Amino acid sequence: MNPVRWEVVRLLQDVTVASDRYVDAAARLEGLHRTDLHALSAVVRHQDANEPLTISALAQRLDLSAPATTALVDRMERNGHVERQRSERDRRRVTLASTESARSAGARLFAPLGRAVSEVAERYTDEELALVARFLDEAAEAITAAGPIHRDPRAAPPTSAPAVGQSTEP
């Protein structure tokens, strides 16, 4: 890999670590689990896009089992962060909505991060930011596709490296 591309990979790792640390600290401040914040973020994003999120879609998005997702949603509902809402057209369909208190907590926790990233973004043109946005979107898709949860564990490794225990001798 050429040095510039390697530096981009290293910087993506740095961003991931910094983001993880921020989320962990934010979760601790609210007495939440990291998964709760990821779930709440998904609920808010879908709600803001007027595309309500079902519990099964949340499970898929977070890669959780049905029982684990139910426990997560129960906990978030008990803590006043989400509400279950039944569809008017199909009463069997249940979606999730964030509460005002959850949105307030999210704003309080993540406003400093938003301000900091906005200050960095101000240094770039809209065209440069569009390129960065496209790269990050494609990188997120590639990371998801490359993840071990999306591949058959018996499949060949994604690189040309020999599998563990496999000889490189002819």
Task: Give the sign of the dihedral formed by CA 141, CA 147, CA 149, CA 154.
Answer: positive
Provide the pLDDT confidence category of residue 152 given band limits of 50, 70 and 90: very low
Query: Is 159 a member of any domain?
Result: no
- Where is average pLDDT lowest: 9-18, 22-31, 130-139? 22-31
Question: How many residues does this entry show for the chain?
Answer: 170
The residue range of the domain holding 15 is 3-134
> Span 103-125, mean pLDDT?
95
Provide the pLDDT confidence category of residue 7 given band limits of 50, 70 and 90: very high
Whether the model pTM is above 0.85: no
Query: Is 139 a member of any domain?
Result: no
pLDDT at position 51 is: 93
Query: Is 152 a member of any domain?
Result: no
Query: Is 119 a member of any domain?
Result: yes
